[in-house]
Amino acid sequence: MELPALIKEFSEEKDTALQTRPYFNHSVEFKNNFLAKERAEMLEKVGLNIFFFPSKMVTGCDFLSDSGTTTMTNEQWAALHKGDEAYGSNKGYFLLMNEIRDLFGEEFFNKPLSKKPNAFLFHQGRSCEDALFTILGKLGQDLVIPSNGHFDTTQANIEANKIQALNLFSSHLKDRNSNSQFKGNMDILKFKELLEKSKDKIPMVFLTITNNTGGGQPVSMENIKRVSELSHDHDIPLFFDACRFAENAWFIKKYEEP
């Protein structure tokens, strides 16, 4: 076959296995190879508990963690070396502030010297939860915070402040015959019932995307919109635990009609 024809045939190849990836790996860790039989035996040994399953035996990406599941770009690695290590008001703070204002609007993140800031930066989500629920715990007694599924540390911080953490899991979550792609949704009917009975006891509504307590199940855009509408109709703030928002967005794009 002549070269032009060969090039044309190759360019029209539909086999995705031959298509190059649109990125370079900048951090690679080599693993030992384990047989499927060995992994199955380990699964049985740990009682199907993914927290006890050795990560070295996981083939591919370990999606148990939300703290980083992929390699870093060359820009990210460079940023580590260029970072300002000053403890307070380092240049990274102002870069982040500008990005937040650019994304969400000038009014979202007030200027650093403002007397009434409306955005707060925490070094870690657990300390942020502690501060938030400590403040909410001072609003009154018998408070309840509904969610599609509180993460374990979130629930612990809520309950430590004498607030009830209520999980309104979707009925599809425990239904083995369900073909739903969005088993992480909040149960809208139960949410409505709660609003009718106890809306004055709800300081905020919490959506976790993805629903990690429910097994990392995604939440549909339709469900997010409905929860948002009901919350705002009752003048209740809606908060997101958005640790896996990118994966959740992928499920919405792939499985939900626009």
- 57 and 175, same structural domain? no
Q: Is 6 helix (H, G, I), strand (E, B) or coil?
A: helix
pLDDT at 80 over 60: yes
Q: Which residue has the higher pLDDT, 1 or 47?
A: 47
- 131 and 104, same structural domain? no
Per mean pLDDT, which range of 3-17, 85-99, 164-178 is the poorest? 3-17
What is the DSSP-derived secondary structure letter of residue 227?
A: H
- pLDDT, residue 234, reads 96
Query: For the segment 143-194, what is each residue's pLDDT rounded down to a tens digit?
Result: 999 999 999 899 999 999 999 999 999 999 888 888 889 999 999 999 999 9
- Cα–Cα distance list, 246 to 161, 222, 250, 253 (Å): 30, 17, 6, 11
- 229 and 116, same structural domain? no
In a domain, 8, yes or no: no
Please provide the DSSP assignment of 88-111 as one string.
SS-HHHHHHHHHHHHHH-TTTS--
In a domain, 7, yes or no: no
182: containing domain: 125-255
- pLDDT, residue 58, reads 81
How many domains does the chain divide into?
A: 3
Give Rg (Cα) of the chain. 23
- pLDDT, residue 258, reads 77
In a domain, 12, yes or no: no
Q: Specify the CATH number for the domain of residue 225.
A: 3.40.640.10
The model carries a pTM of: 0.69
Residues pairing with 165 in the sheet: 145
Distance from C-alpha of 65 to C-alpha of 243, rounded to nearest angstrom: 10
In a domain, 49, yes or no: yes
Give the pLDDT mean for 17-22: 61
- 131 and 77, same structural domain? no
225 — phi, psi (to 5°)?
Answer: -65, -40
Provide the mean pLDDT of the chain.
83
